[in-house]
């Protein structure tokens, strides 16, 4: 059993929930993904593998994976959510293209330090953060400039 699955199983047991083969399959698929995904993407991946797991079970398991701290849920504009596994990965933030939806991950130690400083100055205990910067990616800007009338 993979370490991520074992950690999630411990979380489930600690909270007096039932461990199931469906939760194990979902967790394995989540950690096989090395990209951002929606709950529906995950459901489709499982269906293609002939795993008969309900959409509701996928959503509930993702919710528990997020609560366990193994997965991050990122809210985008218009109420859409994407997920990524974060266990064993360094914290990072996101640049999100409003045209094509491309996500660029980045880490900036200066931003991390500023957040700690601001929290401290305001007598605030920071427990986490999520930074999303919206804009237009280089590829979409190139397409736009090519399509401009001359």
* CATH number (domain holding residue 9): 1.10.10.10
Which pLDDT value is given to residue 149? 64
Pair (65, 1) in one structural domain: yes
Domain that holds residue 10: 1-89
In sequence order, the 6+-apart residues with CB closer than 8 A to the CB of 104 are 94, 95, 96, 137
**Domain count along the chain:** 2
25 pLDDT band (50/70/90 cuts)?
A: very high
Highest mean pLDDT, choosing among 33-37, 62-66, 82-86, 99-103: 62-66
> Which one-letter DSSP state was computed for residue 134?
E
Q: Are 83 and 94 members of one domain?
A: no
Between CA 48 and CA 85 the distance in angstroms is 21
Q: What average pLDDT score do residues 80-89 get?
A: 85
């Amino acid at each position: 059993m993979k370490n991520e699955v074992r950690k999630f199983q411990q979380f489930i047991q600690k909270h007096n929930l039932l461990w199931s083969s469906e939760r194990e399959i979902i967790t394995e698929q989540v950690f096989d993904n090395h990209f951002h995904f929606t709950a529906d993407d995950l459901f489709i991946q499982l269906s293609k593998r002939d795993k008969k797991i309900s959409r509701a079970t996928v959503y509930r398991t993702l919710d528990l994976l997020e609560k366990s701290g193994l997965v991050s849920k990122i809210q985008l504009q218009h109420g859409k959510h994407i997920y990524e596994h974060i266990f064993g990965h360094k914290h990072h933030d996101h640049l999100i293209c409003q045209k094509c939806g491309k996500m660029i991950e980045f880490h900036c130690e200066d931003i991390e330090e500023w957040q700690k400083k601001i929290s401290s100055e305001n007598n605030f205990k920071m427990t986490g953060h999520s930074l999303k910067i919206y804009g237009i990616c280089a590829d979409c800007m190139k397409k736009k400039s090519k399509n401009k009338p001359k």
